[in-house]
Chain A
């Protein structure tokens, strides 16, 4: 026992105490952390608010007032809040993560007064934190004014002005760091957009068909299009908003021209929203599509990676000991079984360390994203149990192969079928997650070699797995480990002192019978 511990300790330190390992272990999480920390900041680098005027030449005379209204400060603020709310609702739906709602005050959810707040805008004013967050996410509100030009304006002259305009200009500052009023006013004057609305865009000429009393009754009737000229390099979000608002103003103008109640019609055609829920035995649960696939995938990948990295270390160290002929020196001090078990445990500790470090990093990331409720704590325990089973399966195979060959290159031939078998869980990830309690997933849970991976997938998914399946898969796993360790101990004993032609699988089986 003491010898096994001495061997395991050396095997552990021989990997962990190298610079290569420390760097290899730390670099991926560091890169990930940098990406997570820096990328949103970079993407949040909003351009300066767009400052200028939207010129409109409105031959119908009906659209310009509506567009002017749409670009009033209050309406623009309202639209941004609406957009933010929609985006966060989408995030919640996909991931289960709740973003603070800037339109709700930070009061407790049970607070009747807070939930009764009638005006979302007013509530947003009460919640400076959420407001700041929104401000940060969406950038500053553009300073846009709508200027209505007479119908006979020279369009080409305005287009020339657009060409020279700088839609990305920053608000000029004067010497003491405050916005320079005169310069800012000049900037506000610059024309960035020209909207030209022909008469036909709002009202069809009644003269074309006298029998048609109401042009909108005719489904074949076609309103003409309108022109939208933009200065170069406009922020696409702003130009999209201008286009949307112009479209909306035109449609509203058409409705009004045909004597519809605009607000009533807008209310009627509002897109309905589905409140999607999955009804399970435990009651209704909000759907969480992405998390349901990604969390089990993450768990399995973690297991797979730590098991394989440790297995690879075990393989190379066994081959090294055999190749450098240090093996017989060791065998004079410890029995082949002690040596093998010590090596397996030592490299297993390396794998466990990788698993714990990465799982810890993952948990920290989830805590930071307030998504910790995606992980059930008992799943971490199961992850450990299945790690031990999966590792011992892979490790006993690696120890047997490492002992059987003399060079790493010779190991490849024996590794290929094993790698293929152990790639299966990766391929099964999506089919199993689509139906974690389907008969396919259930059968896979009892197939030796792959069942630890399959079970980790199923357990960390959203569906409840019957306990008897968990228990029996663990029993099958342990039985697999016993058989494989027994076989590889025999192969190990024969193989460590065999040099020369690398054996094939029939030879290995012969060794099992022989030893």
Chain B
């Protein structure tokens, strides 16, 4: 039985079509990354799954129920718009949330203190939330979303605003939850996070699902069939094209070249030919990143060159976001 089943889900805000006939099925125990540019409809989809807003048409099934309201206590949700009570103490806030989520009274305190310890915030129990840094607040909010040991965890942009250390900590925590069999969905516009974590990726663009597969299969599908070569001695593009057969295009990238094969030839054949004919310090098959896929898909839908440039900049920006990670 899928943990979440969306069929033909549609939601409009005034004239804007936020989610357009979305179908999605998420198996129990899977770890899914929901990616897409800003405004793609990720948060709207998640809010509809959470029954915070209601779809104009289409059906939702969450943990076998028609609405998340009926199984709220089995779902953990970290919203994109998240906050804390500024004047409330961290411990009191988490205790309140735990009670609200029906954690048995006898376990409330052990869980609150245990989780604070796990995220290295044990000393903040008696601090007011407003005294915490933004990253610390985000960890507290993450605890609030998982303190009731939910079967399904939905994290909306969980990594935004976290430094590399906390980003890694959060990834470990998400991974641990996944190992315990929790179904996890998280949305991000940082492709590298999704690539590193998920066993399935769903990409939404302009309210529509444009991609739904495992990272490996997506890479294969979008394989640019290119080989990266770093020659041992200085040569130019023309030398390279004439030296290797079946080359369609060569692009200089830094100290090396990206070589594209003609036709549908797999990159492995090209690699063998290059290695045989060009003395090189490094020859490897180019693995497409999700970013490339992302840009590829978005490019197709761009209506003007400006929009295209904007989207590319966005995708590149997201790479630099996580370059330190």
Chain A residues proximal to chain B, CB less than 8 Å? 2-3, 6-7, 10, 14, 320-321, 324-335, 497, 499
Contacts and interface: CB of A to CB of B under 8 A. Distances in A.
B238 interface: no
Given A335-B69, A497-B52, A329 B79 contact: yes
A333 B100 contact: yes
B83 A332 contact: no
Given A3-B100, A6-B99, A332 B77 contact: yes
A383 B44 CA distance: 47
- Interface size classification for chain B: 20 to 34
Contacts of B88: 14
The CB with the most chain B CB atoms within 10 A, among A7, A321, A335, is that of A335
A327 B83 CA distance: 8
B141 interface: yes
Contacts of A333: 72-73, 97, 100-101
A324 B132 CA distance: 14
Q: Give the dominant DSSP class at A's interface.
A: helix
Nearest to B81: A325
Interface string B127-151: 0000000000000010011000000
B82 A325 contact: yes
A6 B96 contact: yes
B107 interface: no
A328 B73 CA distance: 15
B309 interface: no
B215 to A, nearest CB: 28
A499 B81 CA distance: 11
Interface in B44-80: 47, 50-53, 69, 72-73, 75-77, 79-80
Given A329-B141, A497-B52, A2 B102 contact: yes
A326 B84 contact: yes
A203 B211 CA distance: 124
A499 B51 CA distance: 18
B75 A332 contact: yes
Contacts of A3: 100, 102
Contacts of B99: 6
B97 A324 contact: no
B96 A10 contact: yes
Nearest to B86: A324
B52 A324 contact: no
Interface in B76-117: 76-77, 79-86, 88, 96-97, 99-102
B311 to A, nearest CB: 25
Contacts of A321: 83, 85
Given A332-B77, A497-B53, A324 B83 contact: yes
A326 B77 CA distance: 12
Q: Name the 4 nearest CB pairs between A and B, nearest first.
A: A325-B83, A332-B77, A328-B79, A324-B83
Given A14-B88, A335-B72, 6 more contacts: A14-B85, A325-B81, A328-B82, A329-B79, A329-B97, A334-B72
Contacts of B97: 329, 333
A158 B80 CA distance: 96
Contact of A324 (B73, B79, B84, B145): B84
A320 B84 CA distance: 10
16 contacts: A10-B96, A324-B86, A325-B83, A328-B79, A328-B81, A329-B79, A332-B52, A332-B75, A332-B76, A332-B77, A332-B79, A332-B145, A333-B100, A335-B51, A335-B69, A497-B53
B100 A7 contact: yes
A366 to B, nearest CB: 38
Interface string B27-40: 00000000000000
Nearest to A325: B83
Contacts of B141: 329
A497 B53 CA distance: 9
Nearest to A18: B87
B47 A326 contact: no
Chain B CB within 10 Å — which of A10, A14, A332 has the most? A332
A333 B93 CA distance: 13
Nearest to B85: A326
B89 to A, nearest CB: 11
Contacts of B100: 3, 6-7, 330, 333-334
Contacts of A14: 85, 88
Contacts of A499: 81
A320 B99 CA distance: 21
A482 B102 CA distance: 29
B83 A331 contact: no
A497 B69 contact: no
Contacts of A10: 96
